[in-house]
Chains A and B, each alone.
Chain A
């Protein structure tokens, strides 16, 4: 069986301008949504607060739950159905991080039992203090940044044999970021600035492959975060794990195409670069689609059957796999042409 004929030759590269505008539009929409919502909607992991998952023995009405909560001064909490409807489970969130030492969960249980007249089972309580939330937020940003940086060193080294150059550059960047973080510079701005500097450095040092990969990754992460913001889904620790996996997955795709480009550059060295790139994308197309299908199959299974806690994680992975596949073909590879165009003009 074959989905893709071996002699397939779709002209991907010629459509790179259209793809560029599509990507740009998606990124702008993502950023716009983030600006409108004033940043991502942080879950309690990052914002601090308390989350309680309760299960009722028979269906309970939201109003009864809320009145029960109001009786113990938690009237401002958000209450939301969780998981399957027949599970009768609800998530209660408040932004107060209550010092839970005073028998908090038994208090909630009693209040809810009184207001709903129903047996209540407290299944999960998570309380994160504001300081921990801030720490986790910063750690997550650093993790994303370092993951990107290490990966690009590897790519520069493996594809262009620029181990030393990229290593020194990454070392300097890490040093600068570390120094600045010691001086209490606001971490989000710091990471944003570091990313821009990284991109500029890649551009001027002509680390083409690394540049292609990192632009594609930033593209993927931005759009995934943007879609989360549009759907108003919470950002939690597992979502960060999903984002890092998306980075790994998208890069996997990108590297396989890059690898083929490198191989074909030797084979077709007389042809223009556009041709070689296009040829390589086509040759690997079958594999790209197959792997995306198998990965999508399992993450969809996880999305549908995995239960409430893993739901958003699986959703992030679905978006990530789709965007990651798209970006390897339409974003990472065409960037290799950027220097080519510049060189010709000179």
Chain B
């Protein structure tokens, strides 16, 4: 099955082509031409029908852009550098545990400058052990620099460019997938989510009202981590800047729903992540029967459940912190080994907050944080206003042009007016057929086409007048007029089409909509001027043998 747009495009091209071939006209093929012109019109009308009355025909309606129906457009940038950093962080944690296992003593092992690992070791035994470890377990790390000074080896390591590029690429793809999941679960009709360039994601959410909630849901990283609270060191000295290596200070942030006071509680947390939200199978909102407060209950998969049992078993009577996006949600004391593979996240949520958190956790964490680069929100009332104003100016402009043409060219003007109205129908049919999006600048494009579409007819009529003024019969004048004007019209319209196509390539959202209607307008005005109005002239002059021409 071919894509419907493509199908429609093919039909349109074939019809157009046969029409052009039929231009060598004569009395005989007049009726054949009439049939095919009527076919084009009927097809266009069929495509418009669903927009007017959806029940009539199962095809899709004309898509309205965000500026007309209201909604939100977001451009996000995935901070892919952070994905590389967290990979490096994970590697350095791994290295730390290898050091412990192999009894290698180190002076320093830290992630510095974002995505580098700096290692310092003393003593030949340690250095040899480290080198062996490096060759065996960390083959993919690149050695940036090494220096030995007074028996102290200092080494700088990072990931090769190819690898970090791969991580970045994956991060964007995964972020896209995750965001799509979240939006699907949030429930937006016909969202459009796509990648743009290396690390940008474009999101269009038509008709959305609670934009803040949508943004919070899309933008949160939702990285869930289980970490131990560092109870061997002093929290107060850590707060004064004396943070022990391998630990960090994280805060628990809570807002009292009644006083609206924000309470920040510091915790000293071990950096090592014991378990992440990657092993979740489900997250759902439940209501605590005791406090009547919603919380999110999570289920681990088999591996996660075993890991959770092992962690809780090994750390009974210690405090396990549940950290979400670097914020501590709770840090309960482990009473006993937990084997069910279930846990709960509490934290004075509203029901909506809990629901959104559950969605985010189910959809998974973003591999890296995202930043909002661009946001455009249009309220639905503004969109309705825009449509109304656009239609009014279209009617007023259109009627003025129609009257002008009748006054200036009389009966021939009427033919041009008929062509003009048909033009609008064809553009609308084209919009529906290609499933293109109609935007406010798009409406401006249609209005502009009304002005410019008569141009082709004006060109022909002026030519016919010229030919008649040198004494040709109406029929000869019409033939000569069309023959001479056709090439000019083609040339003139191709250039407009070029401008429109460049615009399409460059434009975003609304501007693209303008390019679409302008291109459709150019094509349909070629059709109406060269084929349709010609047919009408021929009908009067050839079939009805009319001897005079009102022009």
- Number of residues from A at the complex interface, CB < 8 A: 74
| Cα of A124 to Cα of B405 in the assembled complex, Å | 39
In the complex, per-residue mask of A147-180: 1 if CB is within 8 Å of any chain B CB, else 0: 1001100110010000000000000000000000
Shortest C-beta distance, B391 to chain A (Å), equals: 10
B492 touches A256 (CB 8 A): yes
How many chain B residues touch the partner (CB < 8 A)? 77
CA distance A244 to B495 in the complex (A): 11
Q: Which of B370-413 contact A (CB under 8 A)?
A: 371-379, 381-382, 385-386, 389-390, 392-394, 396-398, 400-401, 404-405, 407-410
A99-B372, A132-B374 known; A306-B503 Cβ under 8 A: no
Partner of B407, one of A1, A154, A237, A286: A1
| Structural contact, B499 and A147, CB atoms closer than 8 A | yes
Give the interface segment out of A137-145, A182-190, A193-201, A224-232. A137-145
Considering the chains assembled together, what is the distance between the CA atoms of A274 and B446 in angstroms? 38
Give the docked Cα–Cα distance between A129 and B376 (Å): 11
A297:B502 contact, CB within 8 angstroms: no
Within 8 Å of chain B (Cβ to Cβ): is A75? no
Q: Mark B265-295, 1 if CB is under 8 A from A, else 0.
A: 0000000000000000000000000000000
**A92 partner residues in chain B, CB cutoff 8 A:** none
As a 0/1 sequence over residues 34 to 74 of chain A, the CB contacts with chain B under 8 angstroms (1 = contact) are 00000000000000000001010000000000000000000
Specify the chain A residue showing the minimal Cβ separation from B391. Answer: A305
Taking a contact as CB atoms closer than 8 A, the residue among A147, A260, A291 that contacts B458 in the complex is A291
**For the complex, would chain A's binding face be called helix, strand, loop or mixed by DSSP majority?**
helix
Which listed segment binds A: B40-48, B212-220, B303-311?
A: B212-220
Asked if A238 and B454 make an inter-chain contact with CB atoms under 8 angstroms apart, the answer reads no
User: Does A294 sit at the interface, judged by CB under 8 A?
Assistant: yes
Interface check B466, CB cutoff 8 A: yes
B389 and A298: CB pair below 8 A? no
Set of chain A residues within 8 Å of B415, measured between Cβ atoms: none
Query: Least Cβ distance of A319 to chain B in Å?
Result: 14
Q: Are B398 and A298 in contact (CB under 8 A)?
A: yes
A259 within 8 A of B: yes
The reply to whether the CB of B520 lies closer than 8 angstroms to some CB of chain A is no
A283, B466: Cβ atoms closer than 8 Å: yes
**A301, B452: Cα distance in complex, Å:** 14
Chain A positions near chain B (C-beta within 8 angstroms): 1, 6, 53, 55, 99-101, 103, 105-106, 121-129, 131-132, 136, 139-140, 142-143, 146-147, 150-151, 154-155, 158, 237-238, 240-241, 244-245, 247-249, 251-252, 255-256, 259-260, 263, 283-284, 286-287, 290-291, 293-302, 304-307, 309-310, 313-314, 317
Nearest 6 pairs of A and B residues by beta carbon: A298-B397, A301-B397, A295-B451, A143-B506, A248-B499, A307-B389
Interchain residue pairs with CB less than 8 A apart (22): A6-B466, A99-B371, A99-B372, A100-B375, A123-B378, A124-B377, A131-B373, A136-B508, A154-B495, A237-B507, A245-B448, A248-B495, A248-B498, A255-B492, A284-B462, A290-B408, A291-B455, A291-B458, A300-B397, A305-B389, A305-B393, A310-B389
16 additional contacts, CB 8 Å, given A132-B75, A238-B510, A259-B491? A1-B408, A101-B212, A128-B373, A132-B374, A136-B508, A142-B506, A147-B499, A151-B499, A237-B511, A248-B518, A251-B496, A291-B451, A297-B404, A298-B451, A301-B393, A310-B441
